[in-house]
């Protein structure tokens, strides 16, 4: 993928910063608002330096008013700006959910295309840092159920930068969910020196294989890759498909992989019920059942809130072992 281009190694966090920075430099209608982005560059620091560079008009702190932020993002988007709104932890999206479900994503349709909403919402998702029940959620499934919303979930610095840039340029509302553990673990990876974007709606095969397809999302991509390496030693060849975009979902990439391997495991850091894994299973059952040689397996979190204690949280999160077990059940 990166053959023949000049590359550099950056962290997942830097990738986010660079994406927003480059788009702000490129397009004066792009602006950023959220809580504590001027001083901290947001709590995990992904917008650091942008206030100094672009000033307080375009890098705006807000009061703790998520509904006003989301509503204002919609209003600014509909009148010619490209707002990026940072709703810190994805559980806070619940605070302003009707502004997302109704205003931002339905209005274009309801006005018969008289409006458009090029707004980007950026939030932390994910567990693994003992942040307890309200700061650890991956809201994939329930956000996928919002028509009109696009959702990107980058798992690497390369994907983060390319997808966030596309999200900002996109003429539709896009929710970006980046995993806080990938930030705190300081994940690094290569990105081109040159400018690039990644199209929204395209999955990426993170590892090719022939025996089992593992569709993994966000942080789970990394767990799937390390499980795949172990399985390889046992002679089981895993294909890891990273959807990267959950809406619109790249169904074809998933179906093509299943056609090749005949087996599907979905690894998703959400309580199982109504998760992204539910939708992916349903699609494959509906459209590629004949190609399956074994039942679909889902490696998800249990249907409980997310516990605080590291011991409990570890038990809650899907991990490599859970995946190995699921694969062993079907090969």
Partner 1 sequence: MAIEKEKLLDMYRTMVRIRIFEEKIAEDFAAGKIPGFVHLSAGQEANPTGVCANLRIDDIITSTHRGHGHVIAKAGNQYSLAPMVAELYGRKTGVNKGKAGSQHLSDMDIGVLVAEGIQGTALTLAAGAALTAKLRGTDQVVVSFIGDGTLNTGRFHEGMNMASAWKLPLICYCENNVWAESTNIYDVTNLTNITDRAVAFNIPGVSVDGNDVLAVYKVAAEAVARARKGEGPTFIEGKTCRRFGHFQGDTHLYRSQEEKDECMKRDPIPRFRKRLIEMKVLTEKEADKIQQEVQEEMDKAVKFALESPFPDPEEVLTDVYA
Partner 2 sequence: MAIEKEKLIDMYRVMVRIRTFEDRVFKEFAAGNIPGFVHLYAGEEAIAAGACANLRPDDYITSTHRGHGHLIAKGGKTDRMMAELYGKKTGYNRGKGGSMHIAEVDIGILGADAIVAAGIPIAGGAALSAQMRGTDQVTLCFFGDGATNTTRFHEGVNLASIWKLPIVYVIENNVYAETTPVSYAMNIPNIADRAVAYGIPGKTVDGNDVLAVHEVVGEALARARKGEGPTLVECKTCRYYGHYEGDTQTYRTKQEFEECRKRDPIPRFRKKLIKMGVLTEKDADKINQEMLEELDKAVKFAEESPFPEPRETLEDVYT
Ligand X SMILES: Cc1ncc(C[n+]2csc(CCOP(=O)(O)OP(=O)(O)O)c2C)c(N)n1
Interface map 12-51 toward ligand X (x if CB under 6 A): -----------------------x----------------
Residue 25 in the binding site for partner 1 (CB under 8 A): no
* 294 in contact with ligand X (CB under 6 A): no
Residue 245 lies near partner 1 (rule: CB under 8 A) = no
Q: Is 209 exposed, middle or buried (0-12, 13-18, 19+ CB in 10 A)?
A: buried
135 is known as an active-site residue: yes
- Of the candidates 280, 271, 264, the residue with the CA atom closest to the CA atom of residue 323: 264
Taking CB under 6 A as the criterion, the residue among 10, 30, 88, 212 binding ligand X is 88
Q: Is residue 99 within the footprint of ligand X (CB under 6 A)? A: no
Binding span for ligand X by CB under 6 A among 25-33, 87-95, 143-151, 291-299: 87-95
Footprint on residues 78-117 left by partner 1 (CB under 8 A): 78-81, 83, 98-99, 102-103, 107-117
Buried b vs exposed e over 49-88: b needs ≥16 C-beta within 10 Å? ebbeebeeebbbebeeebeebbbbbbebbbeebbbbbbbb
Closest to 216 (Cα-Cα) out of 328, 323, 306: 323
Residue (123 or 257) nearer to ligand X, CB:
123
**The three-state (H, E, C) secondary structure of 92-133, written as one string:** HHHHHHHHHHHHHHHHHHHCCCCCCCCCEEEEEECCCCCCCC
Check: CB of residue 313 under 8 Å from CB of residue 306: yes
Q: Report the partner that residue 258 touches, choosing among ligand X, partner 2, partner 1, none (CB closer than 5 to 8 A by kind).
A: none
Closest distance between partner 2 and the C-beta of residue 156, in Å? 26
329 near partner 1, rule: CB under 8 A:
no
Question: In this structure, are residues 160 and 19 in contact, taking their beta carbons and an 8 Å threshold?
Answer: yes
Tokens 């996928």, residue located? 144
Residues that contact partner 2, how many (by CB under 8 A): 36
- Decide: is 39 part of the binding site for partner 1 (CB under 8 A): no
Buried b (16+ CB within 10 A) or exposed e, 183-193: beeebebebee
Q: Does 260 bind partner 1 (CB under 8 A)?
A: no
Does 65 bind partner 1 (CB under 8 A)? Our answer is yes
Does residue 86 bind partner 2 (CB under 8 A)? no
Which residues between 50 and 79 bind partner 2 (CB under 8 A)?
61-67
Contact 306, 211 (CB under 8 A): no
The Cα–Cα gap between 241 and 221 comes to: 8
Helices 157-169 and 12-26, axial angle in degrees (round to 10): 30
Interface residue with ligand X among 47, 54, 92, 178 (CB under 6 A) is: 92
Pairing between strand 238-242 and 82-89?
unpaired
Sign of CA dihedral 271, 244, 267, 122: negative
The site for partner 1, by CB under 8 A, has a size of: 45
User: Where along the sequence are the contacts to partner 2 (CB under 8 A)?
Assistant: 35-36, 38-40, 43, 61-67, 91-92, 95, 129-135, 302-305, 307-312, 314-316
User: Where along the sequence are the contacts to ligand X (CB under 6 A)?
Assistant: 35, 64, 66, 88, 92, 95
User: Where along the sequence are the contacts to partner 1 (CB under 8 A)?
Assistant: 31, 57-58, 60, 62-63, 65-81, 83, 98-99, 102-103, 107-118, 147-148, 150, 171-172
Residues assigned a catalytic role: 135
């Amino acid at each position: 993928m990166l053959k023949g281009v000049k590359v550099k190694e950056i962290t997942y966090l830097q990738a986010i910063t660079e994406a927003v920075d480059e788009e702000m430099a490129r397009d004066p209608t792009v602006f950023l608002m959220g809580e504590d982005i001027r001083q901290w560059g947001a709590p995990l620091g992904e917008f650091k330096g942008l206030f100094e560079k672009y000033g307080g008009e375009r890098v705006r702190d807000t009061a703790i008013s998520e509904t006003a932020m989301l509503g204002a993002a919609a209003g600014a988007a509909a009148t010619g700006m490209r707002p990026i709104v940072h709703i810190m932890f994805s559980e806070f999206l619940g605070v302003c959910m009707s502004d997302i479900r109704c205003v931002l994503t339905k209005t274009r349709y309801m006005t018969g295309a008289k409006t458009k909403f090029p707004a980007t919402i950026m939030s932390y998702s994910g567990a693994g840092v003992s942040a307890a029940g309200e700061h650890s959620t991956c809201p994939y499934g329930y956000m996928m159920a919002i028509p009109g919303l696009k959702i990107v979930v980058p798992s690497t610095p390369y994907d983060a930068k390319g997808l966030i840039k596309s999200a900002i340029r996109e003429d539709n509302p896009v929710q970006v969910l980046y995993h806080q553990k990938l930030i705190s673990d300081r994940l690094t990876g290569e990105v081109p020196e040159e400018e690039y974007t990644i199209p929204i709606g395209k999955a990426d095969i993170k590892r090719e294989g022939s025996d089992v397809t593992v569709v993994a999302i966000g942080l789970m991509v990394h767990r799937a890759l390390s499980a795949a390496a172990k399985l390889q030693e046992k002679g089981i060849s895993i294909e890891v498909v990273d959807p990267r975009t959950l809406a619109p979902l790249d169904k074809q990439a998933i179906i093509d992989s299943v056609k090749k391997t005949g087996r599907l495991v979905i690894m998703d850091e959400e309580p199982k019920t109504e998760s992204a894994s539910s939708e992916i299973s349903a699609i494959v059952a509906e459209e590629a059942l004949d190609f399956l040689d074994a039942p679909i397996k889902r490696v998800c979190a249990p249907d409980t809130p997310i516990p605080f204690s590291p011991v409990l949280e570890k038990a809650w999160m899907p991990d490599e072992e859970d995946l190995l077990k699921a694969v062993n059940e079907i090969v």
